[in-house]
Amino acid sequence: MKRVIVGLSGGVDSSVAAYLLKEQGYEVIGLFMKNWHDDTVTISDECPWLDDSNDAMLVADKLGIPFQTVDLSTEYKERIVDYMFNEYEQGRTPNPDVLCNREIKFDVFLKIAENLGADYVATGHYCRKAKVVSDGKTYYSLLAGIDKNKDQAYFLCQLSQQQLQKALFPVGELTKPEVREIASSLGLVTAGKKDSQGLCFVGKVRLPDFLQQQLKPKEGLIVEIPKENILYKQPEPEFNSEEEELQYMARKIEYAENDGKVVGKHQGAHFFTIGQRKGLAVGGTPEPLFVIHTDVDTNVIYTGQGDKHPGLFKKALFVEEDELHWVRPDLALKPGESMKVKARIRYRQPLQKAALHKVKTGLYVAFDTQQPAVTQGQFVAWYLEDELVGSGVIS
């Protein structure tokens, strides 16, 4: 009998995942990951991980499976939290959920599971896995979940073949309502529990509050750039190669204070991200202001009015070679090669038509249409049909 360790988070998805695996005849063990207990940065008195671990224990009890808690907070701090603060200080916007899967759930956690004699680890992610044979070799493909509204393959876009080989995603074949229905019929305490929206480590804490306790506030200027600015009216230069044109499309516009007017003050450029609208506290403009650029060196935030402001859009982005990851290494492009794909630059974004262009230094993703709020530090993921084949960090 194959042994599976399920990461029981205290939510409904992982609860049902554990039940389904047991029904399929696996020997199932539930493990709750405690990733955080630094009380200096807990915002409220409630301690969400205690509730969650309690719910996970009740579920394991109900399903009649062994249960234990593992404390991964040291690794979590080193691999996720420190990385996040470092990224924010550099003015980039990391995606801790993608990293948490690559570094914690399918690495640290996987090693613990293997030490417990597990053949697989399972999570409550809405995605699927399949086997593909290419050139006589077996590869694992990462497919979108059946429930298009809940598809979470994006969060696993950094997994390797070794990690995928050991992973099971039992709820990927179901829709969220079906999962809730199973949980209710079993009388699981998690059946009606709301989905957690917080970071995967600080429970119900909001990211800006968390950041503010770690990064020192530093007053700076908010500058508004008008839509009509000359920066957006430049004629396109002549290009000698496709790569030059891609470089031009993916370039960052360099703003200076005198390109616009000062409209307010903020408490630190590193608290803001491209496309952000809330938290600027500048009123009196006909349309709301959106962040179009942050400069952490000069501590200036550049903004533009309305969600159609030209400073918010880009047709291409670049991923540096060492930030490039192919879930399916057999499909990796060589310099000079290109591939038509569908891509997304954030979790909830509908897939966009795009082309990948491999160059020596990395990879360009050129979209058919302009994309809003392309954000440094976030992950771009690309798909063939409903298979996620690769991803990278937007540079």
Please tell us whether the domain made up of 313-393 is placed in CATH 3.40.50.1970.
no
Distance of alpha carbon 179 from alpha carbon 57, whole angstroms: 19
Express each pLDDT in 352-378 by its tens digit: 999 999 999 999 999 999 999 999 999
Q: What is the pTM of this model?
A: 0.92
Could you say which of 47, 100, 127, 157 is catalytic?
A: 100
Residues 6+ apart with CB under 8 A from 227: 304, 305, 306, 309, 310
- In this predicted structure, what is the pLDDT of residue 38? 59
Q: Which pLDDT does position 195 carry in this prediction?
A: 77
Active site residue 200: yes
State both tokens at 200: 């995967």
Q: Of these residues, 47, 127, 157, 200, which one is catalytic? A: 200
State yes or no: is 100 an active-site residue.
yes
What CATH superfamily classification does 3-214 receive?
Answer: HUPs (3.40.50.620)
Spans of all domains in the chain: 3-214, 220-311, 313-393
Annotate 284-350 with DSSP letters as a single string. --SS-EEEEEEETTTTEEEEEESTT-GGGEEEEEEEEGGGEEESSGGGPPPTT-EEEEEEESSTTSP
Lowest pLDDT segment from 166-180, 200-214, 252-266: 200-214
Homologous superfamily assigned to 220-311: Adenine nucleotide alpha hydrolases-like domains (2.30.30.280)
pLDDT digits (tens, 9 = 90+) for 32-73: 998 776 555 554 545 567 788 899 999 999 999 999 999 998
**Nearest CA among 154, 146, 126, 57 for reference residue 378:** 154
